[in-house]
């Protein structure tokens, strides 16, 4: 070992002693552990975000399948025709949680079938929206009204108004926000009259289906978890009492008595 090497060792030793006196070793050590903690925290947070994302993808897929099969009663091919750029296989993967359903298709699903966003996002009921927009808008767009009456008219006097139309062989339907009352001469009657005026204004047939549903469907209607498909209602009989009242009101409107 030559004199230069010895001088270097002594200089390094002296420098280390000085750093120790200044407390820099503790600071460096603290910075090391702080950095390690930050990296671990970041990894944990990233892992948490990833797990939440995974859970979201799975939940959206599960709810999509429930909507498609239980409420909308559509095949993978039929829902694929609505999305256009997603194949049945792609949709099946999304429903299994293997792929994320893109946001644009979630929005299309919500708008096309009048679904409550909170149902898909958080799993909150109700499943479907009620619509309170101008009747003329939907009657003019070709939606046909159906009046669904309660099974027990003695205890439940209000009936629900639904609109439905076929679009590319797919039935789109929604529940109107206001209930109808065929026992009333005031508010309930006015809502029926609005419907009659709208049908006449848009040159539509004023003859509409008025049917009495069973208790199971009525509960779904009241909780906004019912999606109207015409074949579901073919088995229910017409409510002739309400139909007679409705026909009288139609005639009154046509004869300008109202």
Kindly report whether the peptide bond that precedes residue 184 is cis, defined as omega within 30 degrees of 0: no
Residues 226 and 139 in one domain: yes
Contact 87, 47 (CB under 8 A): no
**pLDDT value at 245 more than 80:** yes
Structural domain boundaries, residue 119: 1-125
CA dihedral 176, 161, 115, 89 (to 10 degrees): -150
Give the three-state DSSP class for 174.
strand
Per residue in 32-59, pLDDT (tens digit) is 555 665 566 555 665 555 577 778 889 9
Tokens coding 9: 């060792």
- Write the DSSP symbol of residue 238: B
Residues 117 and 135 in one domain: no
Strands 170-176 and 130-131, bridge-based pairing: parallel
The predicted pLDDT at position 216 comes to 92
| 29-43, 61-75, 215-229, 230-244: least confidently modelled range | 29-43
Kindly indicate the confidence band of residue 10, based on its pLDDT and cuts at 50, 70 and 90. Answer: very low
CA dihedral 195, 201, 203, 204 (to 10 degrees): -10
Residues 65 and 153 in one domain: no
Give the end of a domain, one of 125, 154, 184. Answer: 125
- Using alpha carbons, list the distances in angstroms from residue 147 to 85, 97, 201, 234: 36, 38, 19, 13
Kindly indicate the confidence band of residue 133, based on its pLDDT and cuts at 50, 70 and 90. Answer: confident
The rounded distance, in Å, linking the Cα atoms of 194 and 209 is: 17
Give the end of a domain, one of 125, 141, 170. Answer: 125
Residues 2 and 121 in one domain: yes
Residues 53 and 142 in one domain: no
Residues 102 and 160 in one domain: no
Hey, how many other C-beta atoms are within 10 angstroms of the C-beta on 47?
10
Residues 186 and 142 in one domain: yes
Residues 237 and 143 in one domain: yes
Give me the numbers of helices (H) and strands (E) for the chain, helices first please: 11, 6
**pLDDT value at 11 more than 50:** no
The rounded distance, in Å, linking the Cα atoms of 35 and 168 is: 59
Domain tally for the chain? 2
Residues 94 and 68 in one domain: yes
The predicted pLDDT at position 185 comes to 73
Residues 163 and 237 in one domain: yes
Per residue in 62-101, pLDDT (tens digit) is 999 999 999 999 999 999 999 999 999 999 999 999 999 9
Residues 136 and 243 in one domain: yes
Give the end of a domain, one of 95, 125, 155. Answer: 125
Residues 207 and 139 in one domain: yes
The predicted pLDDT at position 33 comes to 56
The predicted pLDDT at position 218 comes to 94
């Amino acid at each position: 070992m030559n004199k230069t090497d010895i001088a270097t060792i002594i200089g390094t030793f002296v420098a280390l002693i000085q750093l120790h006196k200044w407390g820099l070793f503790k600071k460096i050590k603290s910075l090391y552990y702080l950095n390690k903690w930050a990296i671990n925290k970041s990894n944990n947070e990233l892992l948490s975000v990833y797990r939440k994302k995974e859970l979201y993808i799975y939940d959206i897929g599960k709810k999509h399948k429930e909507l498609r099969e239980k409420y909308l009663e559509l095949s993978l091919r039929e829902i694929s025709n609505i999305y256009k750029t997603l194949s049945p296989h792609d949709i099946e993967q999304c429903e299994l949680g293997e792929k994320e359903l893109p946001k644009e298709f979630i929005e299309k699903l919500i708008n096309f079938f009048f679904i409550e966003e909170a149902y898909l996002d958080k799993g909150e009921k109700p499943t479907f929206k009620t619509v309170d927009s101008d009747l003329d808008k939907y009657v003019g767009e070709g939606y046909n009204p159906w009046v669904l009456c309660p099974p027990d008219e003695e205890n439940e006097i209000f009936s629900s108004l639904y609109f439905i139309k076929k679009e590319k062989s797919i039935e789109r339907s929604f529940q109107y926000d206001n209930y109808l009352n065929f026992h009333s001469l005031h508010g309930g009657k006015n809502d029926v009259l609005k419907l009659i005026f709208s049908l006449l204004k848009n040159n539509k047939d004023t003859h509409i289906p008025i049917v009495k549903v069973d208790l199971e469907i009525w509960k779904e209607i009241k909780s906004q978890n019912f999606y109207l498909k015409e074949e579901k209602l073919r088995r229910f009989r017409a409510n002739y009492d309400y139909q007679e009242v409705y026909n009288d009101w139609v005639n009154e409107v046509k004869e300008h008595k109202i």
